[in-house]
Amino acid sequence: MEIAVGALSGMVEALPGKLGELLQQEYDLLSGARGDVAFFQAELRTMNAAVVRCEALEEPDVQTTGWIAQVRDLAFDIEDWVDLFAHRVDAGGTHDATSHRFSRWIRRLTTIPDRHVIATELKELRARVVEVSELRKRYSLGPQIPSRHAPAVDPRIFALYADSAGLVGMDGPRDEVAEMVTGQDPDGLKVVSIVGMAGSGKTTLAREVYRLVNAGFKCRASVSVGRSSDVGKVLGDMLSQVDGRGRGDAGDVNQLIGRLRQHLQDKRYLVMIDDLWSVQTWEIIKHCFPENNLGSRIITTTRIEAVAKTAAGVHVYKTCLLDEADAETLFSQRAFGSVGGCPAHLKDVSAQIMKKCGGLPLAIVSVGGLLASKVRTTDEFERSGLEWRTNSELQGLKQIIKLSYSDLPANLKACLLHLSIFPENHEIEIERLARRWVAEGFINEQRGTSMEETARNYISELIGRNLIQPSQLNHDGTHRSYVLHPVIHDFIICKSMEDNFVALVHAQQQDVPPVNGTVRRLSLLNSGKHDQAAAQIDGAKVSRARSITVFSHTGRTPRLNELSVLRVLDLEGCQGPLCLDGLYKLLLLRYLNLKGTDVSNLPAQIGELRCLETLDVRSTKVKELPPSILRLEKLMHLLAGNAKLPSGITKMKSLLTLSCSNIGKSADADIIQELSNMASLRELELFCNVPRASEDKKQVAFPSDGFQSLKKLSIRCSLPSVTFVTDALSKVEVLELKFEEGLSKESSGVSGVEHLSGLKHMIIEFSQHDVGAAAAMAAVKKTTEKVHPNCQVIIMSVDKKIGK
């Protein structure tokens, strides 16, 4: 069982179970080792209650923060010890009953050095567990009460009291939302929700609409809920506004709901409910509003799309970021007092500042207002306008973003912080991220749902909370990639550095910067020629790293033989020669991404990576995979691209995703037949080269009754030469056909599409547009639309000649 490190409490809670599994195994533990492991179990269980309480503190003191850091390091090191134990003591693998006693004796002799190391490590870990436990008792961390104090001053003060005359880019959204509020069903009760990321102007927009439409309503109220809401206080405030008597004191919620319903029963009312954070809070508040067929209206604002949809159904307006012109107008007003007031010597730095603000109104207002009081020099504007992480004068902006972070469940907090490894404005593929999260242990197992599917659900929730922004969509409408807004990215980098979650190293840094604790995740940033001369990272300083991600030249990558507990190695897109010496020794490695690198060969001993789940060598110079890869029993995603597979691929029983090239070569004519017997396969990508001389014969033929679990099939061919027989690929829902050019004669080159009974989405693409390509596209589309009327067919053609 892999520990989900979404929260420290999750780690500490799961560790005793993992230690228990170790005790149940038939390993020959050293004398006293079982007692040490049992001791770890008991102590960690007692620590967990204190950890849970400490995690709930939004502003922990220095002692608590220090203790949490020690527990985190201890938990990581214990888990590393457990995971490495089996590899070091049971390196010989499995043994049958007849040789069990002899092999056990041999194993004792051959692992004596490792056993002495294990004994020393256990002694050190036990001392640390005792020390951390004593600190807990000394600090009395157990009985603390979590604090959820609201800020003394509402950080949304600008939005609450904004002057309408100074607003920018508001007219269009205001009129659109006002029409949503007043239009349709004039007599029924309607709720309109405004949703968007933190600081996007939701409250300002709602107040403008409220002011615009309120004349026609006899009863009006505007209340703010907030994340740590007192529902009784909110209802009391609402009652005092609609009734005009008494104060807005909190009271019994049921009584307040009854009084509000009674007062509003025969009146046309308009209520603005700002800053909703949960469906549960809305489910209570909504009972205050009687459906009296008088055309009453409710306007809500929220950062969370699930809350908006629950409250308003289809009547949801999503705020947009300011375009470049409006952002420049707002910034000029705030920083220089007038539109076009930017001095010539500040135009370049002002453009950089506006890019960093990313069209987010709150960021532009906060930074612009700060700069208005500064000396108008380039150095001052760079220091105050671009270096946000160390600028205490931007606390209001940081507090707004922090509210969204604090509201996340513990597992999503770790997932969000993990995104700090990527450079600013980097487009992140969801498929890549989901597999990384699984490999790093961020994902809890859920019955009936794969861990990768759970990871995708986590990503969807972060999108729904407007913390990440969708960038590209797949042809079936699902998300393919996303980006982080620069303001969110800046915040999570600050938070990651505070918590020692990730160590970031830029090209200008010669080594890992000093951190408070052990480096567990390393990201090497700034790819490009300018960082080729930077020194290689000292592996000794990152020897306990669990993940290493490189966006720079490969020369900075630490030596692999010093990274014994590495789980993730992601070098996608790195340039320069790549040394994989020692790769086969990374016994805990789960994710290896070499896509787009200059690697040409994989180590022959890659089969030693028994924990590997994902291997990606697409777009590399690797021509053939080593035979030992067949020993990777846990490998789920093998993305070989144009590399040739070794024979016997069906031995890999865990494969879910396969990308490979073997098609179009006579020696490998039966490869599709072999792959069709892989019961676990869900996605298949085939690369093939069809010689024009054989165009009369289908080179890529899919047999009946094969690929029983396949959901997605992608074929990339030089020429269209594909056929599907009756009963072939009955479970395939997505079919992608990508060809370079059509056949010389007017023939589609693709037959049997009508046999794909489960088809829902089909994409056919040609790199060159010619007569054969046009014929193929028309024929396939006609057949598909006739036989599969509910299938979405997308035709794409990219003419290389035109592109030149």
pLDDT tens-digit series, residues 608-664 = 999 999 999 999 999 999 999 999 999 999 999 888 888 888 899 999 999 988 654
What band does 576 get if pLDDT is binned at 50, 70 and 90? Answer: confident
| pLDDT score of 572 more than 70 | yes
Residue 466: per-residue pLDDT: 95
Residue 175: CB atoms within 10 Å: 13
| pLDDT score of 488 more than 80 | yes
More confident residue, 528 or 544: 544
21: helix, coil or strand?
helix
CATH number belonging to domain 408-485: 1.10.10.10
The one-letter code for the residue type at 286 is K
Residue 518: per-residue pLDDT: 87
Correct CATH for 502-637 of 3.80.10.10, 3.40.50.300, 3.30.70.100, 3.30.9.10: 3.80.10.10
Min mean pLDDT across 136-140, 354-358, 375-379 is at 136-140
Min mean pLDDT across 138-142, 218-222, 237-241, 308-312 is at 138-142
Q: Cβ(420)–Cβ(525) under 8 Å?
A: no
Residues 6+ apart with CB under 8 A from 280: none
pLDDT tens readout for residues 686-714: 887 766 655 555 567 887 878 889 999 99
Structural tokens at position 354: 């506006």
Q: What is the mean pLDDT of residues 443-465?
A: 91
What band does 184 get if pLDDT is binned at 50, 70 and 90? Answer: confident
Q: What is the mean pLDDT of residues 532-550?
A: 81
What band does 23 get if pLDDT is binned at 50, 70 and 90? Answer: low
Q: Parse the chain into domains and list their residue ranges.
A: 2-139, 157-318, 324-397, 408-485, 502-637, 662-803
Residue 144: per-residue pLDDT: 47
Structural tokens at position 727: 């009963």
Per-chain mean pLDDT for the chain: 83
pLDDT tens readout for residues 196-208: 999 999 999 999 9
| pLDDT score of 59 more than 80 | no
Give the burial class of 430: count Cβ atoms within 10 A of its Cβ; 0-12 exposed, 13-18 middle, 19 or more buried.
buried
| pLDDT score of 194 more than 80 | yes
Residues 6+ apart with CB under 8 A from 54: 60, 64, 67, 68, 141, 144
Residue 56: CB atoms within 10 Å: 15
Residue 537: per-residue pLDDT: 79
pLDDT tens readout for residues 663-689: 544 444 467 888 888 889 999 998 877
Residue 107: per-residue pLDDT: 46
pLDDT tens readout for residues 32-41: 677 777 888 8
| pLDDT score of 512 more than 90 | no
Residue 163: per-residue pLDDT: 62
Q: Cβ(539)–Cβ(558) under 8 Å?
A: yes
Q: Where are the beta strands (DSSP E) in 449-509?
A: 469-473, 479-483, 503-505
Residue 668: per-residue pLDDT: 45
* Pairwise CA distance, residues 754 & 54, whole Å: 60
C-alpha neighbours within 13 Å on the C-beta side of residue 142:
13
Q: Cβ(204)–Cβ(167) under 8 Å?
A: yes
Min mean pLDDT across 476-485, 704-713, 752-761, 767-776 is at 767-776
Min mean pLDDT across 3-17, 443-457, 458-472, 649-663 is at 3-17
> What is the reported pTM?
0.88
| pLDDT score of 440 more than 60 | yes
Residue 726: per-residue pLDDT: 84
Residue 32: per-residue pLDDT: 63
Residue 27: per-residue pLDDT: 54
More confident residue, 530 or 191: 191
Q: What is the mean pLDDT of residues 541-568?
A: 90
Structural tokens at position 599: 């690697």
pLDDT tens readout for residues 156-181: 555 555 566 678 889 999 999 999 99
What band does 539 get if pLDDT is binned at 50, 70 and 90? Answer: confident
| pLDDT score of 451 more than 50 | yes
User: Which residue, 506, 503, 572, is CA-closest to 534?
Assistant: 506
Structural tokens at position 467: 């913390």
| pLDDT score of 22 more than 60 | yes
In the CATH hierarchy, which fold is given to the domain comprising 157-318? Answer: Rossmann fold (3.40.50)
What band does 523 get if pLDDT is binned at 50, 70 and 90? Answer: very high
What band does 8 get if pLDDT is binned at 50, 70 and 90? Answer: low
Residue 141: per-residue pLDDT: 62
